[in-house]
Amino acid sequence: MKKKEMIIGLFAGLVLGVAATAILVWYVNEMPNPFAEKPQAARANTDDMPISLPGKPGDSTTPKPNVSVAPPPPNTSSPAAPNAPAPRGTPAAAPGKRHFLQAGSFSNPEEADNLKAILAMQGLEANVRQVILQDKTFYRIILGPYEKIEDARESRAQLTRMGVESLLLNQE
């Protein structure tokens, strides 16, 4: 009788082990993959398109003009005129203009905090800004302000080396 009870016990243990393994495999396959790339949220404002920076993968070598920069007024005086006004600087060099970098936009605040922490470990200070667009909440990772465009470009190049795409934003 003991041998029969032992065989039934082994069989029951085997069945329970296979069932537990099947449940575990199903559970793991239903979980979202933490290593899959997540698509970025659609950008709502396309008026402030970033300018191309050298060294960014996919950018052409010819610089594209920033569409948000107005051209300087035409100079109506002749070049030989002694009282001709000095040429004005470009609006990007105007005092008071600040530059920001947007390193990401997420619908999940935890993802935004994770990127902020990664940037902090690389020495880049960032803020998370909550934005509501069409009844949807987004969390944007913003670096800056930068007073000089060169500083913003250096940070953008560092982000690119880290594999983080960014947008250059200008604010008066």
The predicted model gives 131-155 an average pLDDT of 92
pLDDT averaged over every residue in the chain:
74
pLDDT of the residue at 30:
81
- CATH number of the domain that residue 116 is part of: 3.30.70.1070
User: Which residue range forms the structural domain that includes residue 117?
Assistant: 93-171
User: Which of the residue ranges 37-46, 77-86, 109-118 would you say has the lowest mean pLDDT?
Assistant: 77-86
d(CA 100, CA 52): 15
Residue 56's φ and ψ, nearest 5 degrees, are -85, 125
The predicted model gives 6-18 an average pLDDT of 92
3-state secondary structure 117-160: HHHHHCCCCEEEEEEEECCEEEEEEEEEEECCHHHHHHHHHHHH
Regarding pTM above 0.85, the answer is no
d(CA 36, CA 33): 6
Confirm whether 71 is domain-assigned.
no
pLDDT single digits (tens) 53-63: 444 444 444 44
d(CA 114, CA 53): 26
d(CA 64, CA 51): 6
pLDDT single digits (tens) 90-118: 344 446 789 999 999 999 999 999 999 99
pLDDT single digits (tens) 152-169: 999 999 999 999 999 999
Confirm whether 123 is domain-assigned.
yes
Confirm whether 129 is domain-assigned.
yes
Question: Is the peptide bond between 71 and the residue preceding it cis, with omega within 30 degrees of 0?
Answer: no
The predicted model gives 42-58 an average pLDDT of 47
Looking at the structure of the chain, the number of domains it has is 2
Is 90 exceeded by the pLDDT of residue 119? yes
Confirm whether 151 is domain-assigned.
yes
Confirm whether 5 is domain-assigned.
yes
